[in-house]
Structure 1
Amino acid sequence: MKFLLSLFFLAFSSSLIADNRPNIVFVLIDDLGWNGLSSYGNQYVNTPHLDKLAEQGARFTDAYGMSQCSPARFAFLTGQSAARTNHTAVCLEKHVLPHARMIQPESNRMLAHDAVNIGRELKKSGYRVGVIGKWHVDVNEKRLRPEMKDAYLAQWGFETITPERSEDDKKLVMGSTLGVLNYLKQDQSKPTFAYLAHRTVHTGLEAPKNIIQKYVDMGYNKSASKGGKSSEKPIADYFAMIDYLDLSIGTLMKGIEAMKSERETVVIFMSDNGGLSRVWDNEPLRRGKGSEYEAGIRVPFIVHWPEKIKAGQTITEPVHITDLFPTFLNIAQTPAPKNYPLDGVNIMPLMTGGDFKRDFFCIHLPVYIPHYAHTPSSIIRMGDFKLIKFYGDYQQDPNEKVITPGAKVELYNLRSDLSEKNDLSQSMPEKAKEMELKLMNWLAERKAHMPKINPNYDPEKATDSIASKVDTFGKIAYKNSKK
């Protein structure tokens, strides 16, 4: 009898601690434009593995990141908007236009080590949490020695995922993918969250030589430099990067299937910002990376979870990268942290047939980015409509080094005017006023840092910029953060 009771209590206790929540693999691509996949309109490169991911899951047509990499990563990790956190610029770059019409607010360039972030929240709920690839939310990352990496990432609750290295995989595209598969296999008693932050397809241009040659043989140009030039488009090296990325996704999905785990695995694929127009044509979207127009912020977004999500869905509801935080919490059956305001919302109902309602969301971009013709602005997307508010100046032609003074708004119906050619702000003034008011109230509620009129404005020197690769305060900040 004692033996039977022992078996009963053992089985009962085991059932209590059994954790059948799914693994989550989040694949974040660097600089992949909205039309970078053949399922989104790429006519140069076939991406069969990513297309299959979309066919078996949900493909979002109106998904948004940020206009550059660091702000997108801050938004995903925190679930909060740049308006709330002031993470508005690339952490390792600083551009100052001392004579421009506006004074831009100084960006917060570090994710605090004790900050609430999705990895730490999932870890607290019982997940193994690992990251591999581009971190880019701390000005001190470039100063990091390899032997410090484990302790460094542990400050945010993440483990280091180790890549597999090979000679013709300079950006560790396949190596990082294999590293994630190894991480998933290491301990299958717990659910795993793996953040696969690729450094591709960001320049410099790097891909296996045989894949580059494949596109050269098709008649496309091999770039003379790692940076690529507009005059070289269409560029074989860039096509090869997309091709190789797609192959890695095939390896990822085959590896997950080969594990034959009883635990489900959710795979989410997204880009941080739009495509770099120097090496990629973003048409029909307007402009490119760094811009407030669609090619700067609209990105491919795919969710694959066959056990829960009906295959073949195309979802046109606008979503934002801040939505990932609450969505991941929902997938992981984990409550949101108390007294922590989220700007994103759980988007699972869009894929499972549940109720979903959001009137609008906003994107705050209050800084100058001279090389992308970006001036301080903010965006509100409400239904089919998008309004851009330029606070004090704007650059009409990205190819001309001319900044036009004056605040203005632009209004577009993206459903009928995807290329943002027809500004409706004058023909629909009431709609423009309604959306501008909602935007400004939203920013005020989050106490957003705002640009101000520059008393030293000089029209003749307005485009003169001072740029530094890394802020000089970074080393001091790192010392202080260690205390």
Structure 2
Amino acid sequence: MKTNLITLTLSVSILSAVAVEQKPNIIMIFADDMGYGDAGCYGYDNLVPTPNIDRLAEQGIRFTQGYVTASACGPSRYGLLTGMYQQKYGVQWNQDTWSDLKNGEAETLADNRIPAGHLMMNQALGRAGYVTGMSGKSNMPCYPKTTFDEYKWVMAFGGQYFPDETGHYAGVDEPVARGGHKRILWGPEREGDVYLTDRLGDHAVDFIERHKQEPFFYYLAFNAPHSPMQAKISHKPQVAHLKTEATRMYGAMLLSMDENIGKVLDKLNELGLSENTIVAFASDNGATFAYNVDWPEDWPKEMLGSVGPLRGKKGTNFEGGNRVPFIIRWPSRLKAGQVYEQPVSTLDLYPTFCAAAEAGVTKETRLDGVDLYPFLAGKESGAPHETLYWFHDDGGAVRHGKWKLLVWKDMRWLYDLDADISESKDLIKQHPEVAAQLEKKYMDFVTPLPPALNQAARK
């Protein structure tokens, strides 16, 4: 009996050592146009319950000052996946993600607007032995092809949430990204038609099941709750309390996304993978007005979603455009239930993931983010970033400590974000010396940038 006990103890010790040494799985979940105030765990104006996003926050770390690199879909996603300020290679706004390159040649996976030799997040992890997969909104070179090992239900900017009579989702997996703004409806119209958000979640769950024995990286890039406004009729009872048809549809789309996040988390639990899987969640930018496509005349042109206490929305450099819900969970390494209040950026996710995966990058890969793990684990104090930047066209912003300088052409505004999260008090006259310091930082960032790739079309 004693010998058996010793053998069992040694076996458990060996298994524990193997588990500790195993590389973590990584899942990056990116919402589309979800506002800072939409998640229940942020405690603001969430329209509908978000129990699974809240579950991530309860079991992980919720960031109160999590930023994206642009308040629009395309450049924000470039910044996330390259880990580099996308302005440095000419991607300032959405049109820069589809404009022709300087040589007039079509993009390929080997030759595109990302600097030569610079690895995207999934490529760096792939080189470190990870199998990589994605579904959802791409915005990246060579759509609908990607650099992931597996991909399905990929779209450039938008797609129909319900299929046509042939089973095809307009705007999805198409050689030419047409988008999907054709109609507004509660569906499905036909029995058996599957909602696109469910397709994305199902692909993620299937990928996890098939690759449970090896380290994997999955990019679940929802297009919800982005327009077109299309929602599942089964969710109508849960959004009946909302005042307008547009907000009811938005709420239902948010419910569906949250349900699919739940499916992913449940699959990790079922397979015993939760402890050693990093799950990160963020939105690509803040809340917005719905696009006016087939918009009924009697519907108000209203904001969809909530920016909470923030000012501004998608497309602006106010906090409501660039500050988003931002959560990281890694149960085996990070204490649950933390709230982290220093500014962080989606630029940080690339180096954080690579450090956790022991994944090196090429010398041509220039990352602008930092590994967040030492800060989140209490091994380093202070702020991960001294300064953060935003820029497109004639405007931008610089965040340095508590101060933020907002720029539009020759106009400037200065805000103390510690005291004024809603950016309601311009302090530029009271603190001209601070404004001058931030102006220099801003110009030092902007001056070396190349022209926007679509600059000619803008003029």
Q: Normalising by structure 2, what TM-score?
A: 0.76
Instruction: State the match for 2:391 in structure 1.
Output: 365
Instruction: State the match for 1:159 in structure 2.
Output: 150
- Rate the CA distance shift 1:171–1:67 in 2: closer, same or farther, 3 A: farther
- Rate the CA distance shift 1:449–1:307 in 2: closer, same or farther, 3 A: same
The answer as to 2:263 corresponding to 1:237 is: no
The answer as to 2:87 corresponding to 1:83 is: yes
Residue deviations 1:314-372 (CA, integer Å, cap 9, x gap): 111101111111111112122343253211111112211121544533333222xxxxx
Classify the secondary structure of the residue corresponding to 1:284: coil
- Rate the CA distance shift 1:274–1:109 in 2: closer, same or farther, 3 A: farther
Classify the secondary structure of the residue corresponding to 2:405: strand
The answer as to 2:346 corresponding to 1:321 is: yes
Classify the secondary structure of the residue corresponding to 2:74: helix
Q: 1:172 aligns with which of 190, 196, 203?
A: 196
For 1:80 and 1:118, how far apart are their aligned partners in 2? 10
Report matched runs for 1:292-441 at 5 Å: 292-356=317-381, 357-367=383-393, 376-390=394-408, 392=409, 407-441=410-444
List alignment gaps of at least 5 residues for structure 2.
1-13, 100-110, 155-161, 164-186, 290-302
The answer as to 2:202 corresponding to 1:202 is: no
Aligned-partner residue type, residue 89 of structure 2: T
Shift of 1:423: 0.8
Instruction: State the match for 1:260 in structure 2.
Output: 272
Instruction: State the match for 1:448 in structure 2.
Output: 449
For 1:354 and 1:338, how far apart are their aligned partners in 2? 27
Aligned-partner residue type, residue 386 of structure 2: F
For 1:314 and 1:328, how far apart are their aligned partners in 2? 20
For 2:271 and 2:114, how far apart are their aligned partners in 1? 35
Aligned residues: 382
Aligned-partner residue type, residue 449 of structure 1: P
For 1:180 and 1:450, how far apart are their aligned partners in 2? 37
Instruction: State the match for 1:220 in structure 2.
Output: 243
- Rate the CA distance shift 1:410–1:158 in 2: closer, same or farther, 3 A: farther
For 1:219 and 1:343, how far apart are their aligned partners in 2? 41
Instruction: State the match for 2:166 in structure 1.
Output: none
Residue deviations 1:361-403 (CA, integer Å, cap 9, x gap): 3333222xxxxxxxx212111122111122x2xxxxxxxxxxx
For 2:250 and 2:112, how far apart are their aligned partners in 1? 30
Residue deviations 1:412-433 (CA, integer Å, cap 9, x gap): 1112111111111111011111
Q: Is the 8 A contact 2:67 2:322 kept in 1?
A: yes
For 1:84 and 1:110, how far apart are their aligned partners in 2? 11
Q: 1:287 aligns with which of 304, 312, 335?
A: 312
- Rate the CA distance shift 1:114–1:206 in 2: closer, same or farther, 3 A: farther
Instruction: State the match for 1:37 in structure 2.
Output: 39
For 1:304 and 1:210, how far apart are their aligned partners in 2? 30
Classify the secondary structure of the residue corresponding to 1:300: strand
Q: Is the 8 A contact 1:21 1:263 kept in 2?
A: no
Q: Is the 8 A contact 2:222 2:257 kept in 1?
A: no
- Rate the CA distance shift 1:113–1:337 in 2: closer, same or farther, 3 A: closer
Aligned-partner residue type, residue 329 of structure 1: C
For 2:58 and 2:274, how far apart are their aligned partners in 1? 23
Classify the secondary structure of the residue corresponding to 1:207: strand
Aligned-partner residue type, residue 70 of structure 1: G
Shift of 1:466: 7.8
Q: Is the 8 A contact 2:396 2:407 kept in 1?
A: yes
- Rate the CA distance shift 1:262–1:135 in 2: closer, same or farther, 3 A: closer
Classify the secondary structure of the residue corresponding to 2:23: coil
List alignment gaps of at least 5 residues for structure 1.
1-11, 96-107, 142-148, 224-234, 368-375, 393-406, 455-464, 469-483
Query: In angstroms, what is the RMSD of aligned CA positions?
Result: 3.2
Instruction: State the match for 1:474 in structure 2.
Output: none
Q: Is the 8 A contact 1:91 1:137 kept in 2?
A: no
Instruction: State the match for 1:248 in structure 2.
Output: 260
Instruction: State the match for 1:475 in structure 2.
Output: none
Classify the secondary structure of the residue corresponding to 2:94: coil
The answer as to 2:57 corresponding to 1:54 is: yes
Q: Is the 8 A contact 1:274 1:297 kept in 2?
A: yes
For 2:407 and 2:415, how far apart are their aligned partners in 1? 12
Instruction: State the match for 1:187 in structure 2.
Output: 211
For 1:241 and 1:161, how far apart are their aligned partners in 2? 20
